[in-house]
Amino acid sequence: MCGVFGVWAPGEDVAKLTYFGLYSLQHRGQESAGISVSNGRQILVYKDMGLVSQVFDENTLESFRGHLAVGHCRYSTTGASTWQNAQPTFRPTADGSIALGHNGNLINTAALAEMVKQLPSDDGELDIHARDLESSTNDTSLVTALLAHHPDQSLEARALELLPQVQGAFSFVFMNENTLYAARDPEGIRPLMLGRLDRGWVVASEDAALATTGASVVREVEPGELIVIDEDGLRSHKFAEPRRKGCVFEYVYLARPDATIANRSVHEARVEMGRQLAREFPVEADLVIPVPESGTPAASGYALESGIPFGQGFVKNAYVGRTFIQPSQTLRQLGIRLKLNALEHMIRGKRIVVVDDSIVRGNTQRAQVRMLREAGATEVHVRISSPPVKWPCFYGIDFATRAELIANGLDVDEIAASVGADSLGYISLEGMVEATGQPQTSLCTACFTGEYPIELPDESLLGKHLLEATLKPSTHGEALPVFNNP
């Protein structure tokens, strides 16, 4: 998850462009938000916990003047959900400063932490590298510290030297006072798009953010590519051979339905997943309903293919965010109860097919089935547009231990009984992959198959808190100049 955005556009209000870009990427992260802006002389960073609209107001955005900005909305995987771990991260360098936003999750954090520890100190005091290790527990701070140390080379050269040593999923957008950078891991696990403004360039996690800010889509940032944008224009470097393994879960759930990934419409892929579900798991029923919003395209596809009428069986509270990405089980359960209500007049006396995108822990589906029973459904048949999630993701999705996954240890009939459904059908792996329009060799399906495209380090280093064992907690604040809300 996480949303990243960057813009280089002299003469434009880059802070507001970044704000609107992050607003359109809010579905990718709801825990914190931040924007860094450069006026050519210094970088100012403003970030805080909360939604984009909660962190920024008109006065804050008006105070940011510059030609270059980077923004981030966070969903935590590595590192606690705290202000110290909000992004963009900021570090001074020998000739200025750097701010960086990261979408993804790194798997060689222990090695990167050791590299940071080996960086020479410029003076006898506790230097920025030591503070980097003590003040935060996220992989992004390590990369920022390593990029910031380039006393005898440019930041561009330093990035080309460092990026091949970074392992895992990363879509980086970073900046110094005059230049915007964007880089994507060789596997291209997380999306990253390049767009063109009349007077500049934009990079963003999804093309919806380009459309929102008035930028036209140019292309994807390629796997293994570093893009550099400054007053001399745009230049591209290939720091690694591409080994495309895009996350299939982007098509299933993560991306907005109006996104395009690898030239495939996410909405069209989800509709086709629903059609395939109807072919693989038909059932006699009176109504097909989606779990809004992410289940809606697949439900429409199921209805089209099966001939069963499509209708709205749930009303969603528009002011409740995605329950899946809440950082604790307590908040996730509360979110489920607040999020949906059943439409009793649509449900009562009917056999219902309810279509959702995935089952991870099972709590959401259990609550949904209970609501439908209480609303008078005579039968509830659950259909899921992804296969059973059986393996943890180490590339940026927060279901990090196998113990959390309901499909680990239970078969389909047992899961159906656990959530209270009359029947349960998961789309096949082959059916899901075919709907994406991509060859399976170009997709990461590790959460379904356990086949990880990037070799993982020792198992003792894996899990939700990859860094906690190597980084020491502290009360040190973020490096200045950074300003947070009171």
Known catalytic residues are 2
Q: How far apart are CA 276 and CA 453, in angstroms?
A: 26
Handedness of CA 23, 25, 29, 34 (dihedral sign): negative
What 3-state class would DSSP assign to 8?
strand
C-alpha 407: how far from chain center = 23
* Max CA pair span of the chain: 76
Q: How far apart are CA 31 and CA 365, in angstroms?
A: 24
Q: Are 53 and 441 in contact (CB under 8 A)?
A: no
Does the bond joining 88 to the residue before it have cis omega, within 30 degrees of 0? yes
Ramachandran sector of residue 426 (left: φ over 0; alpha: ψ -120 to 50; beta: rest)? beta
Does the bond joining 473 to the residue before it have cis omega, within 30 degrees of 0? no
DSSP-derived secondary structure for 262-306: TTEEHHHHHHHHHHHHHHHS----SEEEE-TTTTHHHHHHHHHHH
Q: How far apart are CA 427 and CA 305, in angstroms?
A: 14
Q: How far apart are CA 9 and CA 318, in angstroms?
A: 33
- Residue found under tokens 């981030």: 72
Burial class, 73, CB count within 10 angstroms (exposed 0-12 / middle 13-18 / buried 19+): buried
Report the residue count for the chain.
Answer: 486
Q: How far apart are CA 163 and CA 106, in angstroms?
A: 12
Specify which residues 290 forms β-bridges with: 355
Q: Which two tokens stand for residue 315?
A: 């009303």
Does the bond joining 293 to the residue before it have cis omega, within 30 degrees of 0? yes
